[in-house]
Amino acid sequence: AQTVTQSQPEMSVQEAETVTLSCTYDTSESDYYLFWYKQPPSRQMILVIRQEAYKQQNATENRFSVNFQKAAKSFSLKISDSQLGDAAMYFCAYRSARGKLVFGQGTRLTINP
Amino acid sequence: DTAVSQTPKYLVTQMGNDKSIKCEQNLGHDTMYWYKQDSKKFLKIMFSYNNKELIINETVPNRFSPKSPDKAHLNLHINSLELGDSAVYFCASSQAGEIEEQFFGPGTRLTVL
């Protein structure tokens, strides 16, 4: 069974600085997808970024980028120029071949003004 | 326009009662899911339906019964509610394709007293 581990329960960063959230996963599949979801206090799950495992190029979405290391089974999220609105729980997720998402434990990100 | 909607958003009930949570998506997706988020924010899949057929059924007590009257709806019925059922329940949907991004509903916070 696939597992996803986020080793940082909480992180904080100064506004306008850069922060990296860690995620590792375990799988025997060769083809899969990885996602980062954001959950603000409103509890809505919002997709931040996604990565196809067969693509070597790291995904980027504006201020959000990932460092995908397939051999190491690592999928970290970098947030540049942090903004107050980035404060939220961040979940790393693995999508299995059957379609279900397996989530990490989450990292609570605080932005300090 | 709401993509994935859930009703109700909040549900407070007594132990032993039976309750239902409804989910509807207007995205034309063919697959729908139910996830449970516990008090520690851990998210775990419960069920998945594709074109009204059950395709994922994780280890969930049989007091939980999903029903999909059509591919736009996936309801969750819970019998004999227990204190441990208190959680936030999320419905999600996706369309089979190259990248099956899952779109989440706003969640239903269930409190069992």
Please give the pLDDT value at position B11. Answer: 97
- For residue A83, pLDDT beyond 60: yes
Which of B:1-30 have CB within 8 Å of A? none
Scan for tokens 């980062």, then name that residue.
Answer: A36
| Span B31-53, average pLDDT | 91
Q: Give CA–CA dist A113/B10, Å, rounded.
A: 33
The single-letter code of the amino acid at A49 is: I
Q: Which pLDDT score is estimated for A91?
A: 97
Q: What mean pLDDT comes out for the span A87-111?
A: 92
What whole-number distance in Å separates Cα of residue A36 and Cα of residue A19? 14
Inter-chain Cβ pairs, chain A and chain B, closer than 8 A: 61
Closest CA to B78 of B25, B31, B30, B34: B34
Is B93 part of the contact surface with chain A (CB cutoff 8 Å)? no
**Whole-number pLDDT of residue A107:** 98
Say whether pLDDT at B40 is over 60. yes
pLDDT digits (tens, 9 = 90+) for B61-95: 999 999 999 989 999 999 999 999 999 999 999 98
* B10/A111 Cα distance (integer angstroms): 29
Residue with tokens 């996803």: A4
Contact A98 B101 (CB under 8 A): no
Q: Which helix (H) or strand (E) holds B56?
A: strand B53-57
Put simply, whether B54 touches A (Cβ < 8 Å) is no
Is B58 a residue whose pLDDT tops 90? no
Predicted local confidence at residue B1, as pLDDT: 66
Query: Which of B10, B36, B40, B43 would best serve as a mutation to test chain A binding (most A beta carbons within 10 A)?
Result: B43
Helix residue ranges per DSSP H, B18-82: none
Distances in whole angstroms, Cα of residue A91 to Cα of each of B13, B17, B55, B97: 29, 32, 24, 23
Q: Looking at CA atoms only, how far is residue A52 from chain B in angstroms?
A: 8
Which chain B positions have a beta carbon within 8 Å of A43's beta carbon?
88, 106-107, 109
Give the confidence band of B99 by pLDDT, cuts at 50, 70, 90.
Answer: low
Give the integer Cα–Cα distance in Å for A96 and A104: 14
pLDDT (0 to 100) of residue B98:
55
**First vs last Cα of chain A: how many Å apart?**
41
Distance CA B19, CA B111 (A): 11
Q: Does residue B54 register a pLDDT over 70?
A: yes
Q: How confident is the model at residue A73 (pLDDT cuts 50, 70, 90)?
A: very high
Cα A108 to Cα B11: distance, rounded to the nearest angstrom = 26
- What pLDDT, on a 0 to 100 scale, did the predictor assign at position B19? 97
Residue type, A40: P
Q: What is the arithmetic mean of pLDDT over B25-47?
A: 93
B59 Cβ contact partners less than 8 Å away, ≥ 6 residues apart: none
Q: Is the pLDDT score of A67 beyond 90?
A: yes
**What is the per-residue pLDDT across A23-45, written as a single tens digit (0 to 9) for each?**
999 999 888 999 999 999 999 99
User: How long, in residues, is chain B?
Assistant: 113
Chain A residues lying within 8 Å of B31, measured CB to CB: 99
Cα B1 from Cα A104, distance rounded (Å): 30
Cα–Cα distance for residue pair A53/A34, rounded to 1 Å: 7
Alpha carbon distance B102, B113 (integer Å): 32
Asked if A89 has any chain B CB less than 8 Å from its own CB, the reply is: yes
